[in-house]
Amino acid sequence: MTLTKDDDTPLERAYVHHEARKRAARALMLQERQVTPIMTAQQYKDQERCFLTPDQARYEIKPNVVYKDGKQIKFLLLPKAISATAWLKAHEAAMKAKLQKNSRRAANAQVHGRKLTIGWIDMELPNYSNMRTAPTLEKPELVAALWPLLHDMDTAMDQNIPLYHDFAWNCAMNAIRPEDERDDLSRVKNTPLYQEYLRVKATETPWPPLESLSDEEINKEAASHAQDPYEIVEHLDPWDRTYTIRGTVFSTVEFNHNIIFKSHEDGNNVKGTCVCIATLGSFAGGRLVFPRYGYTAKLENRDLLVCDNNYEQHGNLGPIVGDRFSVVAFLHNSVIGRAPVTE
């Protein structure tokens, strides 16, 4: 909770100040460590778009330590920050997802690598004007399955690095959608999932009057009814006002399968913001490396890595055995400044 102009009663002010003190105390709980480059500027430049090697993974990122270079967070590993329920829901959806081998989204011509971009982004494509990406429209079941995981990512940052989360939240609240902007969602209704939804919906019993149900009964009733794929996509932002995913600080997700990334900077995220990474699947390999500092992290299931991928080269080590999915959530530059922000 943050202080606003409307918090004008003594009780409200006391509550806000109490919450602020608790958040400040949480920010002091994690150890901080300054990191320094082990590469020269020229070596770092030469590393761009090259595969990384095990000898570049010198130091293990310690859990629950905020690594910084100056004031910028570089990486933070939070073990088991993703709840078992959220992880399992996303994992099951990932294993069911069918990523087309001949898709233009295949990653860097790798035979076994696949990549989907989910959420909001301006692709600047001549024949596609939507801000919601095509995979968002084509795979609403995957979008919905990732929501709890993204919520856990957002919550973990708020709990462990609240000052950074405040900064990221303020950035996200500048991702305002123009009032007259409307995406074409007709593609959703052409999917087999939507046709199956209509078939199931026709056989369902109607909802009883909501006023006669308790909260628990409403949740149970909702779980027994088919989820409308169109509504999943339409309400990607619950406020219908921002380019955020379900009220988190993220606009966009990269959903990767068995990709060995060369060393690269993302470069298109909002300045100062970090990405959140979690892995799904059953696999070996794919260790993440930050060559400038020589640090590396092996992500276990349910772990969360917060890192500066925007202006920091990163890549992962091969080979990958099994099915390794990575969920990379971030705030993309293209969603900022599309509409004026009003007070």
Question: Tens digits of per-residue pLDDT, 16-54?
Answer: 555 665 666 665 589 999 999 999 999 999 999 999 999
Residue 75 and residue 131: Cα distance in Å, rounded? 29
Distance between CA atoms of 95 and 321, rounded to whole angstroms? Answer: 15
Distance between CA 138 and CA 141 in Å, rounded? 9
* Coil vs helix vs strand at 30: coil
Residue 108 pLDDT:
53
Q: How far apart are CA 317 and CA 286, in angstroms?
A: 5
* pLDDT mean for each 10 residues of the chain (343 residues): 41 52 66 97 96 96 97 97 97 87 49 88 91 96 96 96 96 94 94 89 82 77 80 94 96 96 95 98 96 97 97 95 97 92 60
Give pLDDT, residue 27: 59
pLDDT in tens, 158-184: 999 999 999 999 999 999 999 999 999
329/150 Cα distance (integer angstroms): 8
Residues listed for the chain = 343
Those residues with Cβ within 8 angstroms of residue 10's Cβ, 6 or more apart along the chain or in another chain: none
Partner residues linked to 176 by β-bridges: 242
Task: Find out whether 327 and 146 touch, Cβ atoms under 8 Å.
Answer: yes
**Calpha distance 31→34 (Å, rounded):** 10
d(CA 225, CA 153): 27
Q: How far apart are CA 321 and CA 258, in angstroms?
A: 8
Name the pTM for this structure: 0.87
Please give the Cα distance from 113 to 91 (Å, whole number). 17
pLDDT score of 50:
96
The sign of the dihedral angle between the CA atoms of 243, 244, 249, 252 is negative
Rounded to whole angstroms, how far apart are CA atoms 278 and 294? 21
Specify the pLDDT at position 104: 43
Distances (CA, A) of 29 to 20, 23, 54, 66, 117: 15, 10, 32, 10, 35
Residue 7: the pLDDT is 42
pLDDT, tens digit (0-9, with 9 covering 90-100), for 223-255: 777 789 999 999 999 899 999 999 999 999 999
Cis peptide before 319 (omega within 30 of 0): yes
Q: How far apart are CA 190 and CA 32, in angstroms?
A: 50
Given its phi and psi angles, is residue 294 left (phi above 0), alpha (psi -120 to 50 degrees) or beta? left
CA angle 44, 50, 52 (to 5 degrees): 85
Q: What is the pLDDT of residue 213?
A: 78
CA–CA gap between residue 223 and residue 45 (Å, rounded): 52
Angle between helices 140-160 and 162-172 (to 10 degrees): 130
CATH topology classification for 29-185+235-335: Double-stranded beta-helix (3.60.130)
- Picking from 24, 30, 29, the residue whose alpha carbon sits closest to that of residue 65 is 30
